Structure 1
């Protein structure tokens, strides 16, 4: 299954997992948005952490999403992105 299909199928569960760990605004970026998406590729998610969010919580999001989607999921916050991508990725990311 392509990552975009898995994310579409489990959209509400993904949103609940993100919210349960004090984050919001889950967006996809990277290969999921491009025409060269392949089955088995890892989806990239950008999340907006709330003030209550922790690194452990972000790790828990990643773990829960990997288990739900059966895919290696990359979860990033805007501040965790490399400096050269901090403007580009949030502007191109699409809400889940």
Structure 2
């Protein structure tokens, strides 16, 4: 019986060791899965923020184009007004010379 007890202890030890190793491995896998899930969620949140920022960039570019167009129009108007002002100054100068 002594030999059977030793074999029994040996089998119990190996079974316990294998069971413990499997439990540790499963715990590690579950921990990794939880980390992956957390990172996936954070990635989705970051992706949503990036999409929102891209939409803002598109809007800012549109506004910038509109402002540039308005600035170009105002520059043309200023040049026209400067020319008109120069012509009026010339008329005033000519009229004051005739007096």
Larger Rg: 2
| More strand by percentage | 1
| More helix by percentage | 2
Relative to the length of structure 2, the TM-score reads 0.18
Greater RCO, CA 8 A, separation 6+: 1
Relative to the length of structure 1, the TM-score reads 0.18
